[in-house]
């Protein structure tokens, strides 16, 4: 069916569908010292256990805090909770700040980046060793690049409107419909990088002498891409030559599970040379192409909540795709919490478009072609002469983007009508203005400030971090909220201790059991 036909099918049930779409946000931020260096302090004990706290954890580093909202069916609830989590963190980190840019702060030697610790339980040790494996394979600098993950699922009424049942074979149909949306997202995510990319520049300390050929220099401490939008999503950010060769089949959920499964069971010669242990201590979980499924970096993933100690691919196999995780979002330094509701509304529209638009199957040959448009946009998206590849033909970014926005506007009308607002339509109009005038994009605004003020990236980023802290802490937490989160923290520490006391297997045997599933 065409996009218009699919849109017509959900139009009649819009009031049932769009108010029940659920979202959640995972947001990473580096903790930094008042002088802009990476914090060397451990994850604050007042924030509870990073292993078991439901909302506040760490990602790669002790200093890379991650805030996780529950899922809600209104964006107001999501953003209220995310704002609250920022307030809770600031209540407990003293004079430290949260870095508001995706690319890191002032960095010294790579060994000074503290890897996250999760205690002595088997799962806690596994999480730490996995991160040590990432250090071995890719280095620590790449791992502390921060971003936002946007999780979204549509209600059963959406599938019903499209003629997909909610049980039996319908579960597989739903999973494969999500996989079709993933293929479309790969085709169209370049527009997200153009409109919201916010990492066109970086502090030279991030590169530590590595090649910055092709980037411009601003003074002696800043490098930038003249027309770039997101260095984070370029080879200057996630520099990963090994994973660039990985091609995961996303034509169906079964194909995805099978191809991803092969990467976590196939030895890789370079990693075999490293070994699993050094001087009797684990340096990586295994010598396979990927240690575990989470090591596969992608702009979007199919997801399912997992049971304790369950592999993600097993959860997908047994219960199907539950939601999509968009993983390619830069932190917005112009918003205190790193993302605006307008951007979330655009993500809602783009994912809905990807679900409704026809999505042909893809071969291994398609992925490099599709990636070319992404790679071109993140490094050169605001160049008016830039050409992308659309259906095998070279086209300019602006007319293709306007065509996408026209389709998104028809979806926005359904969101607004069913929610009794006009925010989604306004969102599309604002993005159209960015296509007409690239200077309105976040990446252009950042570069304009840097160049006009002759301001190093570090000073710009520090200024924005201090502004964000003032905005977040301007309304102190009430005692009831403080007590509530103190209780959550205490309970998380108790859960971690229980896990450490109740492990039944020695760690080596535990790993054997986990990977034999």
Write out pLDDT tens, residues 351-389: 999 999 999 999 888 888 889 999 999 999 999 999 999
| Percentage of residues in the chain having pLDDT higher than 90 | 88
How far does CA 142 lie from the centroid of its chain? 14
For 303-358, write each residue's pLDDT tens digit.
Answer: 999 998 899 999 999 999 999 999 999 999 999 999 999 999 999 999 999 999 99
For 53-80, write each residue's pLDDT tens digit.
Answer: 999 999 999 999 999 999 999 999 999 9
Q: Whole-model pTM? A: 0.97
Let me know: does 353 contact 407? Beta carbons within 8 Å: yes
- Determine the pLDDT at residue 105: 83
151, 144, 92, 197: which is closest to 472 by C-alpha?
A: 92
Overall domain count for the chain: 1
Work out the mean pLDDT of the chain and round it to a whole number: 95
Bridge partners, 199 (sequence order): 230
CATH number at residue 208: 3.30.590.20
pLDDT band at 512 (very low <50, low <70, confident <90, very high): very high
| Percentage of residues in the chain having pLDDT higher than 70 | 99
Q: For residue 123, give its domain range.
A: 3-515
- Determine the pLDDT at residue 169: 66
For 148-200, write each residue's pLDDT tens digit.
Answer: 999 999 999 999 999 987 555 678 999 999 999 999 999 999 999 999 999 99
- 428 burial level (CB within 10 Å; 0-12, 13-18, 19+): buried
481, 494, 484, 510: which is closest to 52 by C-alpha?
A: 494
């Amino acid at each position: 069916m065409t996009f218009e036909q699919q849109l017509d099918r959900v139009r009649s049930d819009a009031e049932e569908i769009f108010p029940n779409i659920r979202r959640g946000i995972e947001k990473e931020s580096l903790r930094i010292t008042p002088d802009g260096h990476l914090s060397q302090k451990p994850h604050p004990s007042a924030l509870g256990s990073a292993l078991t706290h439901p909302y506040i954890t760490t990602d790669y580093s002790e200093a890379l805090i991650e805030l996780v909202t529950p899922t809600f069916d209104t964006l107001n609830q999501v953003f209220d909770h995310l704002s609250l989590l920022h307030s809770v963190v600031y209540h407990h980190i003293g004079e430290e700040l949260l870095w508001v840019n995706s690319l890191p702060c002032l960095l010294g030697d790579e060994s000074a980046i503290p890897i996250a610790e999760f205690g002595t339980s088997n799962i806690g040790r596994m999480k730490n060793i996995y991160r040590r494996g990432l250090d071995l394979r890719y280095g620590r600098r790449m791992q502390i690049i921060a971003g936002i993950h946007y999780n979204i699922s549509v209600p059963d009424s959406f599938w019903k409107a499209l003629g997909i049942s909610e049980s039996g074979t319908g579960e597989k149909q739903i999973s494969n419909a999500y996989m079709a949306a993933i293929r479309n997202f790969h085709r169209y995510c370049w527009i997200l990088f153009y409109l919201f990319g916010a990492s066109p520049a970086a502090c030279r300390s991030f590169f530590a002498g590595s090649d910055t050929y092709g980037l411009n220099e601003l003074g002696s401490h800043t490098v930038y891409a003249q027309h770039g939008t997101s260095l984070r999503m370029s080879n200057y950010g996630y520099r990963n030559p090994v994973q660039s060769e990985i091609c995961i089949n996303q034509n169906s959920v079964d194909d995805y599970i099978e191809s991803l499964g092969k990467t976590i069971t196939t030895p890789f010669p370079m990693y075999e040379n490293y070994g699993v242990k050094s001087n009797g201590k684990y340096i990586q979980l295994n010598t396979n192409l990927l240690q575990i499924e989470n090591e596969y970096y992608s702009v979007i993933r199919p997801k399912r909540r997992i049971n304790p100690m369950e592999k993600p691919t097993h959860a997908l196999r047994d219960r199907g795709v539950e939601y999509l995780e968009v993983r390619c979002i830069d932190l917005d330094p112009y918003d205190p919490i790193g993302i605006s509701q307008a951007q979330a509304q655009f993500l809602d529209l783009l994912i809905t478009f990807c679900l409704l638009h026809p999505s042909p199957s893809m071969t291994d040959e398609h992925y490099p072609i599709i990636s070319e448009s992404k790679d071109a946009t993140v490094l050169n998206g605001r160049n008016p002469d830039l050409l992308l590849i659309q259906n095998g033909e070279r086209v300019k970014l602006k007319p293709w983007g306007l065509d996408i926005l026209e389709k998104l506007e028809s979806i926005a009308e359904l969101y607004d009508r069913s929610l009794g607002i006009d925010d989604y339509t306004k969102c599309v109009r604002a993005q159209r203005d960015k296509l007409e005038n690239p200077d309105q994009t976040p990446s252009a605004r950042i570069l304009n400030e840097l160049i006009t003020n002759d301001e190093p990236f570090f000073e710009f980023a520090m200024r924005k971090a201090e502004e964000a802290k003032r905005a977040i802490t301007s309304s102190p937490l009430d005692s009831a909220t403080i007590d509530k989160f103190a209780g959550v923290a205490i309970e998380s520490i108790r859960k971690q201790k229980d896990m450490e006391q109740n492990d039944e297997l020695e760690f080596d045997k535990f790993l054997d059991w986990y990977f034999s599933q």
